[in-house]
Chain A
């Protein structure tokens, strides 16, 4: 999902940066408030950030014959809410843009929007929706991480199609072309991300029940049972 350096026209680059900036500010405030009232959660936030670091470095092969990587932000969204993952995704993308020429500074806004905003918010929304219709925690977490990952890559396809509409057919034709590259490749990888997230959440539920109290991943499931 990394749009390469310089590959978005300046107006698009600026536009996506302007959209992403308020989310970044919101995320920083959200993390600050959360850690102030619950300092014991620092460790788990570190694990969520580490998970995003690890997963976004793994380029996995897919059935389409190309490689892509999971994002790892669904875990943090399920634990701390979606806004908290914006700064985490920002740091990951900054690291890759500055050191690896992977993504870029001019495309940072767009990449933050797809990976650190759309991904976590879709994950969180799916988690809430799945819990509301009666899914237990495991399938809800799996679906949340899986669909959040896919949503990131669909967003990248939309961003590129907006910047590069086809001469014939315009946005729609371009979108299908980019989605064929990104979203289709991502399907098995998104399933892997869902399963990996599930493993980590299960371990946290076992070992960190105290710190997890009152976090979305626990309360959403419990609300149904408690009511």
Chain B
């Protein structure tokens, strides 16, 4: 069980890191700027819309736009931190609760208290 958990973690790291080597930059367009790699798929879709329907103009603009990429990444980090914080609280509480239960069940643990 333990070993399997480690294997799953290893697979996760590999799945995230290997693409950094495996992926190749898209072919350069003649006369265009250097092709960017690891841009967001959402932006690529936006470009594809531009290619399919060159006349399409977005009819609504975001109500609030992060002032720069740095601010945007701050907000994404904040979102991840909120999520990770709650999960960390639950996991920590669960581990402590299990330990307390085990200690209460064994006389040795009770003496240590």
Contact = CB atoms under 8 A, between A and B. Distances in A.
Interface of A: 1-7, 9-10, 43-44, 46-47, 49-68, 72, 95-102, 104-106, 156, 160, 164-167, 174, 177-178, 181-182, 185-186, 188-189, 191-192, 195-196, 198-200, 202-203, 206-208
B83 A57 contact: yes
Range of interface residues on chain B? 35 or more
A169 to B, nearest CB: 10
Contacts of A191: 15
Interface string B40-51: 111011101100
Q: Is the interface of A mostly helix, strand, loop or mixed?
A: helix
B58 interface: yes
Given A53-B82, A207-B95, A65 B23 contact: yes
A79 B86 CA distance: 17
A64 B18 CA distance: 12
B49 A57 contact: no
B5 interface: yes
B3 interface: no
Interface of B: 5, 8-9, 11-12, 15-16, 18-20, 22-26, 37-42, 44-46, 48-49, 52-53, 56, 58-66, 72, 75-77, 79-80, 82-87, 90-91, 94-95, 97-98
29 contacts: A4-B42, A6-B61, A46-B90, A50-B82, A50-B83, A51-B83, A53-B82, A54-B84, A55-B83, A57-B79, A63-B22, A65-B19, A65-B26, A72-B83, A97-B62, A101-B62, A101-B65, A160-B48, A164-B49, A166-B52, A178-B45, A181-B48, A182-B41, A188-B19, A192-B15, A192-B16, A195-B15, A203-B94, A207-B98
A57 B52 contact: no
A97 B65 CA distance: 9
Contacts of B23: 61-65
Contacts of A47: 86-87, 90
Given A53-B80, A61-B23, A95-B79, A167 B52 contact: yes
Contact of B20 (A7, A61, A160): A61
A99 B64 contact: yes
A100 to B, nearest CB: 5
A181 B62 contact: no
Contacts of B16: 60-61, 192
B72 A100 contact: yes
A189 to B, nearest CB: 8
Contacts of B45: 3, 156, 160, 178, 181-182
Contacts of A56: 79
A99 B48 contact: no
Given A54-B79, A63-B19, 12 more contacts: A6-B59, A7-B56, A51-B83, A57-B83, A59-B40, A62-B23, A101-B64, A102-B72, A104-B62, A164-B56, A181-B48, A182-B45
